[in-house]
A and B are shown apart, each in its own frame.
Chain A
Amino acid sequence: MRSAIVMAFCALLSGAPAPSPAQTVAITHGTILTITHGTIPNGTVLIRNGKIAAVGPDAQVVVPAGAQVIDATGKFVMPGIIDSHSHTAVEGSVNEISLPNTGMVRIADVLTTDDISVYRQLAGGTTTALVLHGSANSIGGQSQIVKWKWGRPLAQWFIPEAPRTIKFALGENPKSANFHPPPGVTPQYPATRMGVEEVIRKSFVDAKDYMAKWDEYDARKARGENPMPPRRDLLMEEMSDVLRGKVDVHSHCYRSDEILMLLGLSDELGFKVRELQHVLEGYKAGKEIAAHGVTAGTFIDWWGYKAEAYDAIPYNVALMTRDNVIVSVNSDSDELARHLNQDAAKAMKYGGLTEEEALKLCTLNPAKQLRLDHRLGSVDVGKDADLVIWTGHPLSAYSRVETTLIEGDVYFDRARDLANREALAREKRDRLNKEADDEAKEKKDKKDKKEKKEPAK
């Protein structure tokens, strides 16, 4: 009862986005960090039906009458931040821990819309995320790309044309190096990096056999025979689609040897790796990663939390960038996802990326990794109007998000958040008081009833 009230309350927090009454929105007089074509001081972004209709200097963008105007004088405008490694909004465990390969399970089935972290991330400028399984298994399951449309039904969080994705994991986690099964429980295979390689290899070998069976069946059918169809296997179907290039592989990894192992395996078995996740030793194998056309999403400065993270260096981003790898900084954390702009800024300090290269780390580069750069990642005409307005330059630690828009709708607005606080606190108090009163009344009624039945002697 109480939890239901609290949940309802949380859903009210700062409210669902006001559906924009005006289909046309103009953000005016801001410094616009376009990512693809430089910085526009005193610029305007015109939004029509959720897409960027025009961007340019104030003088060159005509704001039509009736447009909703957001004055960004003195402020900075950038594309929404994209987090290519998130576990936010997953209900329950992120690991279906029972098998080394659980590629059949889907994150989309366990997403909730009331995780407060979603709202907090909007307050840090993050608008899109790749939500993944954990790394307990060598193959963890099917991931989901979402936009953080807080307050809207889940169906609207999905991007229909987003690619299908699957999570792989290498190293300490899938070999259960840091988790010990309780006494009496048999440890799960694999226990070494050799075993991790074998799990992935066997999965694809099996998938090839599975595909061959269906090919044979289709051929016989085409010949007019009436063959018995092979038994469907949801895991093998998914693995087959990876081989067919229909599903993007995002693989958790740390050490350079296991990175090279996966690249070798992809050559041998004919699948493609889209993004190496974490990839803290990517700098030791940048050339090989680039040669395979694989991208990399990493932490700028996390290190030392386990043995395979001990050689992590904050220069990883810069070194891989210089090797022509498309690099992003991502979060793996509800907290870090609130300030990925700051991690991007650190790449200027550690290895000397330019301002534009740094900004790309949390915008255009992850958009490319998710194959959504035709829609996301920069302030360009025709792209989704996912925009963040900052009090100052987003690469400054002193800056704060004022407003976050997704497809032209405001999903976070600091002024609105501040204005709502008192009313929300009052509402919470009233609801809890009412609940307490109701409970007391219920108790009293019960007692009265009982006394009526058995009158005091």
Chain B
Amino acid sequence: MSSTSSARVPRSFWAAAVLCCASSVFAQSVILNNPGKKPTVAIRNATIYPVASAPIPNGTIVFSNGLITAVAANAAIPPGATIVDGTGLSVYPGLIDSGTTLGLTEVSSVAGTVDTAELGDLNPNARADVAVNPHSNLIPVTRINGVTTVITAPQGGIISGQDALIQLAGWTPREMALKSPVGMHVNFPSMRSGALDEQPQDEEAEQEAKKTYTKNVDKLRDIFRDAQAYAKASAARALDPKVRRFDRDVLLDALVPVVMGREPVVIHADREQDIRAAIQFADDYKLKMILAGGDDVARVIPELKSHNIPVLLGPILALPQREDDPYDVLFTNAKTLHDNGIPFAIRTSEDHNARNLPYHAAACAAFGLPKDVALKAITIFPAQIFGVADRIGSLETGKLANIIVTDGDPLEIRTNVKRVYIGGEEIPMESNQTLLYEKFRQRP
């Protein structure tokens, strides 16, 4: 196996790097994020799983300048290409996690390293992509298990801010951003938390909860109504300069593409009544809605179907909300959506362990989702939902070379990811964790 990554960097550098990293909690990653070269590479003699079409045994995939140029049983290898022997290995598109906070957090309990939730309820102008730390140690940890692309999403309040679809490689946030903003993140107000669903509420608490709920829903509806008016006024002034000038409002500016239907609204809701309310809200304001979370999707199938709402389902490896929910409801939701023809993708809602995305998908397959569909739910389906299926999500000519090479099914825990290419660049198979491993396995 050729190892271009170690060839680029002298060994002594890694040794020094190990020493500095291990000693400092807040050391930034020493792993090269994006070596910058986009060589021509051909991986041959591998089983290729393009996802969009049937597997190719003994196939060849060629990519150059960051794009896939050929995927076939006998693709021609251009002169000068770096040839990787894929005998016994499998090639898949990079995996896509439809919901993380990667880049926005480093050590969860250390406030200074966490940028996930802004203060206040309405922050449509907050953008995840401006706060992504390209040198976070979480990024190498995630990508060397095959996750090459993620949604990173702000978390706080009712309107959290704007989600970004990022590649897990790049020297700067801009280099990482594949599409941003990719959606307006909304936490739909909820009457009560899941744990309290079946518990008796005293009347006063119930009234108080109702009041807060109504206030929050009003807040959400009010700002969207304002944004509609603002968008209309802006359009009118753009057409006719005689329309009176008005001050710009950064919050409403951020919502204009959403109320105009150009940018989807990603609404997080898990409970049946909240999902229904969210659908009604999106309907009233003619928004392009994507549902995130969706623990209760099985209870709202007709509504999701009639409104053509895709679902970012997950986390899957999580507990059901109610004591008497079937123990496996979160595992079977994906099959229910698939059986009903509702588009969906799977997300981990994770940060440090977004690397476990494939096992969230596998849990769905263990409970009835066909294996190939489980793979699609973390590759081509999210690409379709986020409108980037022309660029990522499958191995097809012209798409970005987000490619992983494995020694087996990437949804199986025991499978090892051998190589990762993001945008055609070979990623060093190293993280702060592998460096600590190498250091301490040599402890005398």
State which of B22, B363, B440 has its C-beta within 8 Å of the C-beta of A319.
B440
Contact between B359 and A178 (Cβ–Cβ < 8 Å)? no
Which residue of chain B is the closest to A6 with respect to CB atoms?
B198
Which residue of chain A is the closest to B417 with respect to CB atoms?
A349
Contact between B327 and A6 (Cβ–Cβ < 8 Å)? no
**Interface code B365-376, partner A: CB below 8 Å = 1, 0 otherwise?**
111000100000
**CA A399 to CA B331, docked complex, whole Å:** 12
State which of A287, A302, A310, A424 has its C-beta within 8 Å of the C-beta of B353.
A302
Contacts of B412 in A (CB 8 A): 396-398
Take A302-B352, A395-B414, A397-B362 as given contacts and tell me if A120 and B200 are in contact as well, using a CB distance cutoff of 8 Å.
no
Contacts of B365 in A (CB 8 A): 397-398
Contact between A313 and B107 (Cβ–Cβ < 8 Å)? no
Contact between B413 and A304 (Cβ–Cβ < 8 Å)? no
**CA A351 to CA B433, docked complex, whole Å:** 12
Which residue of chain B is the closest to A399 with respect to CB atoms?
B366
Contact between B107 and A307 (Cβ–Cβ < 8 Å)? yes
Contact between A304 and B138 (Cβ–Cβ < 8 Å)? yes
**Interface code A163-178, partner B: CB below 8 Å = 1, 0 otherwise?**
0000000001000011
CB of B427 to closest CB in A, whole Å: 18
State which of B323, B359, B366, B433 has its C-beta within 8 Å of the C-beta of A116.
B323
Contact between A397 and B366 (Cβ–Cβ < 8 Å)? yes
Contact between B324 and A313 (Cβ–Cβ < 8 Å)? no
State which of A313, A315, A335 has its C-beta within 8 Å of the C-beta of B318.
A335
Contact between A313 and B436 (Cβ–Cβ < 8 Å)? yes
**CA A428 to CA B362, docked complex, whole Å:** 32
State which of A13, A301, A309, A424 has its C-beta within 8 Å of the C-beta of B356.
A301
Contact between B319 and A335 (Cβ–Cβ < 8 Å)? yes
**CA A204 to CA B208, docked complex, whole Å:** 50
State which of A284, A397, A428 has its C-beta within 8 Å of the C-beta of B359.
A397
**Interface code A38-73, partner B: CB below 8 Å = 1, 0 otherwise?**
000000000000000000000000000000000000
State which of A1, A6, A306, A319 has its C-beta within 8 Å of the C-beta of B109.
A306
CB of B385 to closest CB in A, whole Å: 24
CB of A398 to closest CB in B, whole Å: 5
Contact between B324 and A9 (Cβ–Cβ < 8 Å)? yes
Within 8 A of A (CB), among B303-347: 317-320, 323-324, 326-328
Contact between B200 and A3 (Cβ–Cβ < 8 Å)? yes
Contacts of A13 in B (CB 8 A): 323-324
**CA A123 to CA B25, docked complex, whole Å:** 39
**CA A304 to CA B350, docked complex, whole Å:** 12
**CA A306 to CA B436, docked complex, whole Å:** 18
**CA A443 to CA B247, docked complex, whole Å:** 57
A342 within 8 A of B: yes
Contacts of A396 in B (CB 8 A): 412-414
CB of B294 to closest CB in A, whole Å: 18
A100 within 8 A of B: no
Contact between B25 and A397 (Cβ–Cβ < 8 Å)? no
**CA A116 to CA B411, docked complex, whole Å:** 29
**How many A residues, CB 8 Å from partner?**
53
Which residue of chain A is the closest to B361 with respect to CB atoms?
A397
Contacts of A3 in B (CB 8 A): 198-200
CB of B438 to closest CB in A, whole Å: 9
**CA A120 to CA B110, docked complex, whole Å:** 33
B14 within 8 A of A: no
State which of B109, B318, B414, B440 has its C-beta within 8 Å of the C-beta of A305.
B109
**Interface code A285-326, partner B: CB below 8 Å = 1, 0 otherwise?**
001000000000000011111110111011100010010000
CB of A148 to closest CB in B, whole Å: 13
**CA A59 to CA B355, docked complex, whole Å:** 44
Which residue of chain A is the closest to B358 with respect to CB atoms?
A397
A411 within 8 A of B: no
State which of A287, A334, A346 has its C-beta within 8 Å of the C-beta of B413.
A346
A339 within 8 A of B: yes
Contact between B110 and A400 (Cβ–Cβ < 8 Å)? no
CB of B101 to closest CB in A, whole Å: 12
Contact between B108 and A123 (Cβ–Cβ < 8 Å)? no
Contact between A304 and B324 (Cβ–Cβ < 8 Å)? no
CB of B110 to closest CB in A, whole Å: 6
Contact between B323 and A10 (Cβ–Cβ < 8 Å)? yes
B351 within 8 A of A: yes
CB of A393 to closest CB in B, whole Å: 9
B106 within 8 A of A: yes
Contacts of A123 in B (CB 8 A): 327-328
CB of A73 to closest CB in B, whole Å: 19
Within 8 A of B (CB), among A126-174: 172
Contacts of B414 in A (CB 8 A): 345, 348-349, 395-396
B280 within 8 A of A: no
Contact between B319 and A283 (Cβ–Cβ < 8 Å)? no
**CA A331 to CA B136, docked complex, whole Å:** 27
**CA A13 to CA B325, docked complex, whole Å:** 10
Which residue of chain B is the closest to A310 with respect to CB atoms?
B25
Contact between B25 and A400 (Cβ–Cβ < 8 Å)? no
Within 8 A of A (CB), among B102-147: 106-110, 137-138, 141
State which of B200, B367, B437 has its C-beta within 8 Å of the C-beta of A1.
B200
A119 within 8 A of B: yes
Within 8 A of A (CB), among B388-444: 411-416, 433-434, 436-437, 440-441, 443
Contacts of A313 in B (CB 8 A): 433-434, 436-437
Contacts of B413 in A (CB 8 A): 342, 345-346, 348-349, 395-397
CB of A455 to closest CB in B, whole Å: 30
State which of A6, A10, A119, A339 has its C-beta within 8 Å of the C-beta of B317.
A339
**CA A117 to CA B200, docked complex, whole Å:** 20
Take A13-B324, A417-B327, A428-B324 as given contacts and tell me if A304 and B437 are in contact as well, using a CB distance cutoff of 8 Å.
no
Contact between B106 and A283 (Cβ–Cβ < 8 Å)? no
Contact between B319 and A334 (Cβ–Cβ < 8 Å)? yes
Contacts of B109 in A (CB 8 A): 172, 177-178, 305-307
Contact between B353 and A398 (Cβ–Cβ < 8 Å)? no
**Interface code A6-31, partner B: CB below 8 Å = 1, 0 otherwise?**
10011001000000000000000000
Contact between A398 and B352 (Cβ–Cβ < 8 Å)? no
Query: Residues of B with Cβ closer than 8 Å to A?
Result: 22, 25, 106-110, 137-138, 141, 198-200, 317-320, 323-324, 326-328, 351-353, 355-356, 358-359, 362-363, 365-367, 371, 411-416, 433-434, 436-437, 440-441, 443
- Other contacts beyond A13-B323, A302-B353, A349-B415: 4, CB < 8 A: A284-B443, A313-B436, A345-B414, A398-B362
* Chain A to chain B contacts (Cβ below 8 Å), 29 pairs: A9-B324, A116-B323, A120-B319, A120-B327, A283-B440, A284-B443, A301-B356, A303-B433, A304-B106, A304-B351, A304-B352, A305-B107, A305-B109, A306-B109, A307-B107, A307-B110, A311-B22, A313-B437, A314-B433, A315-B436, A339-B363, A345-B414, A349-B415, A351-B437, A398-B365, A398-B371, A399-B366, A421-B326, A428-B324
Shortest Cβ-Cβ A-B pairs, 4 listed = A397-B362, A306-B109, A345-B413, A315-B437
